[in-house]
Amino acid sequence: MSLPVLQSTISAGGVTFDPLVWSEPLMWVVLAAFLGSAVVARYDVEWARRVAVAGWVAFGAFWLVLIPHFTLTQKSFIEGIGSFAAVPLSVWAGYHLYQGRDSLFVLTRAVGLMGLVYVPFLTIGPLRQAIVESVADQTAFLLSLLGVDPLLVDGLSYNGVPIVDKPYPHRSTFWFEGNSQPITYTIILACTGIGSIAIFVGGILSVAAPWRRKLRALAMTVSVIYVLNLVRNVFIAVSFGEQRMQIFPNLVMTLFSVEDPQMVSYYVADRILAQTGSVIALVAITYFLVKELPEVTVLVEDLLFLVTGTEYDLTAALDQSGEPEDVATPSDD
């Protein structure tokens, strides 16, 4: 089996396991199944159903192998809980699609399109480098406006000191002079906002709605996510680099199993505050997206059904009604 784009080896009890070695081929299977089902559905709905159900089962397996990566390597409670919940939800989605809930074809198509947006940045080196270094430069500019000017360096080490956990030698690491040792904050692909952007792009493109309103919704969501992500990067860089989040250090070091006290500010700023804020922001953006593009309620309703087992009518709740795709209305202007 070939090496993955990233490596995240976990060792326990003499057993070595790299979740990303297994998640990468599963990622391609899921992408092929979800996009393939959208194509097949044009000719044979029942065959498309079979392909999509297989894709949902593979999607559950994808999240299953990533649980150790998010919980043990990334030490992220939110991502760990999310990946754990995604396993049964994926299988549950496949089951209901198999049972005839055809609205899930839209969610299937949405996830496939999300992958189509995100995977190129994950797998194509020059594309990944371009977005990572661009976000790093913009973050550096915003930091300078605040009077914070760390060095922005490239390579996997600087002045002979290795940059821990840096996956690629891009010019994307902020170098702060720490108390006991230098502090490095590296912008990686997850820090660019492309993952969240892909979610909304996939959702918007998957529904039947006039293109004018789709493009308007894309412009709104992509720009807001991009700007908020830069704010997030600046917040983490200042909080970590200048050690401004040394809150309950002993408790945080115990919770996240870290030995370096300087890492307390990072885990409080990123893993607790920034990730929680990101969830709240995505929920708020979804609310405004539903107001702008009511057709996406089919996705939200299906997600709520999968989580709660209860049917919801968000269109009625929000007093909104979507227009047919081929009908022009004043709101489309």
* Residues recognised as catalytic: 191, 232
Tokens of 331: 């709101």
Tokens of 92: 């549950």
Whole-angstrom Cα distance, residue 300 to residue 136?
33
DSSP label at 72? I
CB 264 within 8 Å of CB 245: yes
Whole-angstrom Cα distance, residue 297 to residue 293?
8
Looking at residue 231, its amino acid is: V
Could you please report the per-residue DSSP string of 212-272? HHHHHHHHHHHHHHHHHHHHHHHHHHHHHHTT----SHHHHHHHTT---GGGHHHIIIIII
Neighbours of 281 (CB within 10 A): 17
